[in-house]
Structure 1
Amino acid sequence: MADEGKDDKKKGGNKVIYAALAANLGIAVAKFVVAAITGSAAMLAEGIHSTVDTGNELLLMLGEKQAAKPADARHPFGYGKELYFWALMVALSVFSLGGGFSIYHGIQALRNPEPLEDPLWNYLVLAVSACFEGYSWNVSRKELNKKRKPGASLWQTMRASKDATVFTVFIEDSAALIGLAIAAIGITLGYIFDSPYFDPAASILIGVLLVGAAFTLGRETGNLLVGESMGQDAIRRVRGIFEDDAAVLCVDRLMSMQLGPEEVLLTAAVQFKRGMRIDEVETAIARLQKAVGAVFPTIRHIYFESGALRATMP
């Protein structure tokens, strides 16, 4: 059952990637064509943004493939964190290629603004792009909602998510939709006021937006990469399972580390009741592992500190 759940999560993550990849690839081509026709700096920035996002989905696909490799002697806990590494590479590409180049191009366009063109083509591509990006964003939103707790906002759910594929695409698509709105506003203001400066200013704002998205994504993936825990609420529930067991005298410390989207390592410093035989302690440990696994199937490794066994000695 645990493997079936893991496969379902993988299928959900793959669906998110494929939706984002198809949307960004088609949108990037359309934006570049219209940018060449109209000379819009904001549209060129959006084209760059979509191209970077397309490459990012390929990086996430690579991360998914690497993370699925079985454990071996060099990596006894598997390769789950490969996904977090490649998601961090995505954050760096959004920052440097997406945000950096958009800001640079916007500044260059401010210095040498292009003459205004008919914005019809820009509006058409922005509208089509919004439809594609909205679809991709909705796919990632639905995946996030599967883990959404009652009363939690979508932002809080994203922050708590351990699936880098889903929250990476969600952050990218959210930034893309906001960027489309900025591009549309810049083009419209330039047309209304007959000024060539609003469009490149929009390009700079899009770049700043991408830098912010990259910072958010880097923070989330960085925390997971260096060993983020499964969350305090989950730890409290695990502690309750331990404390409810008749063989446990007290629970000193529980520590967890996320090894991948669906794999957690847990170490437990507990004291079993004194006078218990070793076989009774072993039975209690097996019972606790089963109870924890029933509630949290993602906890695939549970290790008890040796002090728990010494404390049972009469």
Structure 2
Amino acid sequence: MSVEGGTKAIIAALLANLGIAVTKFVAYLLTMSSSMLAESIHSVADSGNQALLLLGGKRARRAATPQHPFGYGRERYVYAFLVAIVLFSLGGLFALYEAWHKWAEPHGITSWQWVPVTVLLVAIGLESFSFRTAIRESNLIRGRQSWIRFIRRSKAPELPVVLLEDFGALVGLVFALFGVGMTLATGDGRWDAAGTAMIGLLLVTIAIVLAMETKSLLLGEGAESAEVETIERAVTAGPEVERIIHMKTLYLGPEELMVAAKIAVSRCESAEELARGIDAVEARIRAALPVARVIYLEPDIYHARGGPAEVSGRSGS
């Protein structure tokens, strides 16, 4: 569901941004407004970012290889991190440079004065449609989480990225409308420069937030506490396991969780009986948490006084 919803939101944002980028750039050529130029580059950067997300999703679906035995699921995180870099450099830093340049040499908007306002109002409508699509698709998987927690905790990067981009685009358009409107009202081009600077600071802030969240995913995140509790209940639900000695989890991709655990098993009469017990535990885990696709269970004997067997001198590997 997250893959399909993310793709739908990305395509909606891509189509909106391509159309908006063209109209903004035409408006800039007619008016030479720095706010319009900053918004044009912003839309171009957003379009490139959505193309990167689509490419990352496609490459992440490649089959596992001997060199990459766990597959390429985390490649989606790599491309999401590239999005943050593009948004920071091409979007934010360019807007700040353009603001500095316009402040040093301010000039008003003397021709085609109705064009930038019209373009910005149309762009707000198109971006609102894209933002609405991202919100609707996110609500399908967000559950009762707050928006901040959803963006911070989501293991699928596409929807949080599109949400932040669309939110930033809408706020940026309001900043641009403010700068252009004040320039038209006063004839002072420094208002245009101020609007451009506000756009640049906004994009840099969003890029930093995206980079920090994506960095955490790249380093490797484990299961959420609720997911860990679900796994623990599934492991200990049958007679095969006395207790969990220790367990670690790791997301190999947005829809693939690895579970590795050392478990204290009941005494068995044969290896075949032990193997059947392990298989039963794995089946319970997958039924309780379908995202747990890679499971490694190491059976051990738990000593009531000394603790796990490895405490008495055995390796914990």
TM-score, normalised on structure 2? 0.90
Residue 272 of structure 1 pairs with residue 268 of structure 2: no
SS in 2 for 1:77: coil
Residue 248 of structure 1 pairs with residue 204 of structure 2: no
> 2:116 is matched by which residue type in structure 1?
N
Query: Separation in 2 of the partners of 1:277 and 1:131?
Result: 69
Identify which of 165, 170, 182 aligns with 1:172.
165
SS in 2 for 1:76: coil
Unpaired runs of 5+ residues, structure 1, are 1-7
> 2:103 is matched by which residue type in structure 1?
L
Q: CA deviation at 1:51?
A: 0.2
Query: Separation in 2 of the partners of 1:227 and 1:103?
Result: 33
Return the index of the structure with the highest Cα Rg.
Answer: 2
Residue 120 of structure 1 pairs with residue 114 of structure 2: yes
1:283 equivalent in structure 2: 276
Residue 206 of structure 1 pairs with residue 199 of structure 2: yes
1:302 equivalent in structure 2: 295
Q: CA deviation at 1:306?
A: 5.4
Query: Separation in 2 of the partners of 1:263 and 1:123?
Result: 47
Query: Separation in 1 of the partners of 2:108 and 2:268?
Result: 87
Residue 86 of structure 1 pairs with residue 79 of structure 2: yes
Residue 234 of structure 1 pairs with residue 227 of structure 2: yes
Moved more, 17-26 or 239-248: 239-248
Query: Separation in 1 of the partners of 2:63 and 2:24?
Result: 41
1:142 equivalent in structure 2: 136
Alignment of 1:88-103 (within 5 A): 88-103=81-96
Equivalent residues of 2:242, 2:266 under 8 A apart: yes
Query: Separation in 1 of the partners of 2:216 and 2:298?
Result: 25
Query: Separation in 2 of the partners of 1:188 and 1:135?
Result: 24
SS in 2 for 1:146: helix
1:3 equivalent in structure 2: none
Seen in structure 2, the aligned counterparts of structure 1 residues 203 and 153 have a Cα distance that, compared at 3 Å, is same
Equivalent residues of 1:262, 1:298 under 8 A apart: yes
Query: Separation in 2 of the partners of 1:222 and 1:288?
Result: 33
Query: Separation in 2 of the partners of 1:251 and 1:190?
Result: 67
2:6 equivalent in structure 1: 13
> 1:160 is matched by which residue type in structure 2?
R
SS in 2 for 1:297: coil
Query: Separation in 1 of the partners of 2:238 and 2:157?
Result: 35
Q: CA deviation at 1:67?
A: 0.3
Query: Separation in 2 of the partners of 1:208 and 1:308?
Result: 58
Query: Separation in 1 of the partners of 2:281 and 2:260?
Result: 13
SS in 2 for 1:79: coil
> 1:158 is matched by which residue type in structure 2?
I
TM-score, normalised on structure 1? 0.91
Seen in structure 2, the aligned counterparts of structure 1 residues 111 and 274 have a Cα distance that, compared at 3 Å, is same
Q: CA deviation at 1:275?
A: 4.7
SS in 1 for 2:84: helix
1:76 equivalent in structure 2: 69
Equivalent residues of 2:108, 2:184 under 8 A apart: no
Residue 63 of structure 1 pairs with residue 48 of structure 2: no
Equivalent residues of 1:144, 1:158 under 8 A apart: no
Moved more, 114-123 or 228-237: 114-123
Equivalent residues of 2:2, 2:141 under 8 A apart: no
Moved more, 12-21 or 79-88: 12-21
1:4 equivalent in structure 2: none
Identify which of 42, 54, 78 aligns with 2:47.
54
What is the CA RMSD across the aligned residues, in angstroms?
2.0
Question: Residue by residue, what CA displacement relative to the aligned partner does 1:61-82 show, whole Å, maximum 9, x if unpaired?
Answer: 1111110100111111111111
SS in 2 for 1:303: strand
Residue 105 of structure 1 pairs with residue 104 of structure 2: no
> 2:91 is matched by which residue type in structure 1?
G
Unpaired runs of 5+ residues, structure 2, are 310-317
Equivalent residues of 1:144, 1:154 under 8 A apart: no
Q: CA deviation at 1:308?
A: 6.2
Moved more, 152-161 or 16-25: 152-161
Equivalent residues of 2:230, 2:289 under 8 A apart: no
Identify which of 28, 32, 38 aligns with 2:25.
32
**Percent of aligned positions with the same letter in both sequences?**
35
Q: CA deviation at 1:307?
A: 4.0
1:196 equivalent in structure 2: 189
Q: How many residues align?
A: 304
